[in-house]
Chain A
Amino acid sequence: MTIGRLLEMANDILIEIKNLSMYFPMTKGIIRQQKIAEVKAVDGVNFFIRKGETLGLVGESGCGKTTLGRCLLQLIRPTSGEVYFEGVDLCTMASDHLRSIRQRMQIIFQDPFDSLDPRMTAGEIVAEPLRVHTQLRGRELREKIAELLKIVGLDPSMTERYPHQFSGGQRQRLGIARALSIRPSFIVCDEPISALDVSIQAQIINLLEDLQGEFDLTYLFIAHDLSVVRHISHRVAVMYLGKIVEVANRDALYQVAKHPYTIALLSAVPIPDPIVEASRERIILRGEIPSPIALPPGCNFHPRCPIGVEICQREIPSLREIEEGHWVACHLA
């Protein structure tokens, strides 16, 4: 990584996270609350996202990926660390300044049933961000809503319908229309297709890709489905128990993964082809995912790691760049 290359890339970076941590305290007692433990949901995370790219963030439940997405957007304020958006640290920003930046960062949620107000019509749902952040009203607002619905593949005649009158995939499209309405540059997609049927997932993925091209969007795509992440991402980061264990370009991660957790994760994904499946080597991890309250000493992954050695039990491995653009947190990589 030359200085020249770094400088070249620095101009492209939209988001940079430095040492981000989110610790949730666990308290005991009603009148006098004592802190008895901490859930280290996100623990010293570093990465960047370039303008126009999709960074995939994968990991299993409890790894902290959803919390990370929310901390990034300051929907929950992180315990420590820095989040640079277009060069400015959001963590130290006052609420009213943050509000204006919020126009440029949006989120699409996982549950198309929970994330839409059941008492608002489709039109009202999509209009809400526009009412908050712009002066658009009346006929101009209505035209804008119709345009947005068309962009996401919904019929503008549906503006008066309520969420329960739409299918899951349609509701997700509504969520996307809402996120797009004020022309953000960055969207956190938090498991946007996990709750949808398989045949609809592909529709939504294609839509997100088309929109990225058309509106020059940058995505943080959070998911646990590795096959989908591979399709839509340019680079991928893997999380385990609050820490990033590997970051690489998409092809590098899927073809030459270096971290033992990534390798096990990839081998656990079933492939829809009986002949291929019968001949695959499987790495079945021992044991359970430990609780983020009682983290093991040293490397978080060592109790389940098939290749762990002595140093892994003592020293936490740091995220190191082992090849250009490929970072791994493992003593043995």
Chain B
Amino acid sequence: MSGNADIYHEIIVDYSRNPINYGKIEDHDVTFHDSNPLCGDSIDIDMKIDDDKVSDIKFHGKGCAICMACSSVLTEITKGKSLDDVRKIEKNDVLSELGLEHLQAVRIKCALLSLKVLKSALYTYLGNHMDDSLDMDKLKDEAASLY
């Protein structure tokens, strides 16, 4: 095997079989759902937030191995971080963790769906709980520019 299929290394396959932080948080403080209209992949993220930190995070949904592995990695990165730090998470933080920096364009949306959901969940929470200093339009643009 060569080229694009190289992305299917052990870690990705293992994560897709045994995703980390998979499930729901019943008493979440914020939840968000989004899907990829091209392929039907669909991800929900629930977060529990204490003292402006992500004290717990879980995801569930349906997706390919890339989507599942990236969701696992992303939730691992996010757990315990302050909301400010979650805002700073970038796509390469997820992709580099799995050696997916050169993923072809058609699959990048599989990899970043969960990041989009995470950012949307974050902004939903901030919009509901934070003061008026936040420019929601700017935040939405930031989410939209992920890919």
Instruction: Please indicate whether A and B come from the same complex rather than being unrelated chains.
Output: no
- A: residues with CB less than 8 A from B are none
